[in-house]
Amino acid sequence: MRIAVWYNLPFSGAKRALATHLESLVRKGHEIEVWAPDTVLDKDHMEMKLPVKEKILPLAEKFNSIRNSKYGHRLIFRTIKKIRLMQDHCHDCAEQINNGNFDIALINPCATFSVSYMSLFLKIPSVLYLQEPNRQLFEAWPNHWLRAQDPYFSLYSINNQLIRFAKGIQVNEDTKAIKKYDLVLANSIFSRESIQKAYGIDSRACYLGVNTEQFKYEIEIKETYVVGLGYFAYPKGVDRSLKAIALIPKPKRPKLIWVSNGKDNAYFEEMNKLASLLEVDLDVRINLNDVDLYPLIARAAAMIYTSRLEPFGLAPLEANSLGTGVVGIAEGGVRETITHGINGFLAKNDDPFVLAEYISKFSDDLDFAKRFGKEARAFVEKEWSLEVMGNYLEENLLLALNR
């Protein structure tokens, strides 16, 4: 197949997932060309790593010229302006794709709006691979909708209503766009259900996979620390990890090394205070390259994964591939990727006592941690390889094409 691909993702887990998708399709002999706005350009830009043609169209300068605002009436105009600019960009990309003799378009998430507007302009079969709905619009933790409920008539309540109206514009445009795709793919059953609840459409679960040749690192011994991974913010549950580790007796308490591609400054400060209060050694490392990251994960006694409602959780499988077991909470997509006792241990609730017990299994017995990690890698090689994932993806692209 000749496949046109579009994405708008910064360096992130979603971008790593896209890279594995493209690699698996290239291995299967498909011809791929990629379109993206220049908002994706960063030090880890994929054009340096993937053997595909890539066309970057300008958008960042126009986006950056629109000022942020906390005032509702300005937010409305800002939202409308950004939507129009993104739709203009998608129109330009779609025109090139429509005239490019492609069989199908594989569209990926948009960092700005989650759902890409490419479907509004494409004239060939199109598939949207959506990692998750826009969580800020559909989940309780940002409280965009709750904070707009003010029983008292005031300038504050009016401003909140205007903010709510601006968010409603985006929900409306996103919903129109997602319903235009021939097929929507989700990275897990949990994500498929989230998409159904958010947009009222059916999608198909199409799991991600791990390049086990890339994520491979031989070690002699494990070390007494646990590693966490992800953007340092509330949804990643750093607070949950700290509270669990704090329950391990101090003489045996492992250090927590958290690797992140960025941080929420307020949450970062709060967690450092919490770590100090709980006497947990917290070491945060920002933007590590793969040369430093892989041995750090491989040598860890375990990975702790306490993200809140993570749609899939690629990092635990990558840790398994590097020979490290995972301790997590049975919520979100991690329930589908971690098989209890095989490649990790899952607490049924966010119970810090249970999490501490599972962490201690690894940190108290580094020989066990190493044996378990080897078995976890074998499990991932069999069940979650790039080849297995490529078969899922190819099958769904053919399904959309035949429709």
The per-residue pLDDT for range 208-252, each reduced to its tens digit, is 989 898 899 999 999 999 999 999 999 999 999 999 999 999 999
Separation of alpha carbons 161 and 181, rounded Å: 31
Q: What is the DSSP string of 27-72?
A: HTT-EEEEEEEGGG-STT-GGGT-SSEEEEE--HHHHHTSPP-SSH
Determine the pLDDT at residue 49.
Answer: 65
Determine the pLDDT at residue 386.
Answer: 86
134 vs 363, more confident: 363
Determine the pLDDT at residue 151.
Answer: 56
Helix (H) or strand (E) holding 260: strand 255-260
Q: Name the one residue in this structure whose structure tokens are 């994960």.
A: 297
Determine the pLDDT at residue 66.
Answer: 77
pTM of the model: 0.87
Do the bridges between strand 282-286 and strand 183-186 make them parallel or antiparallel, or are there none, so unpaired? Answer: unpaired
| Per-residue pLDDT tens over the stretch 72-130 | 567 788 889 999 999 999 999 999 999 999 999 999 999 888 899 999 999 999 999 99
pLDDT band at 138 (very low <50, low <70, confident <90, very high): confident
Which whole number is the average pLDDT over 162-179?
A: 89
Separation of alpha carbons 265 and 271, rounded Å: 10
Instruction: State the chain's mean pLDDT as an integer.
Output: 90
Q: Where are the beta strands (DSSP E) in 63-174?
A: 104-110, 126-130
Tokens of 18: 């896209």
| Domains, the chain, with CATH or none | 2-209+386-402 (3.40.50.2000), 223-383 (3.40.50.2000)
pLDDT band at 335 (very low <50, low <70, confident <90, very high): very high
CB of 363 within 8 A of CB of 248? yes
pLDDT exceeds 60 at position 154: no
Determine the pLDDT at residue 72.
Answer: 58
| Per-residue pLDDT tens over the stretch 308-327 | 999 998 899 999 999 999 99
- Max Cα distance, the chain (Å): 66
402 vs 204, more confident: 204
145 vs 182, more confident: 182
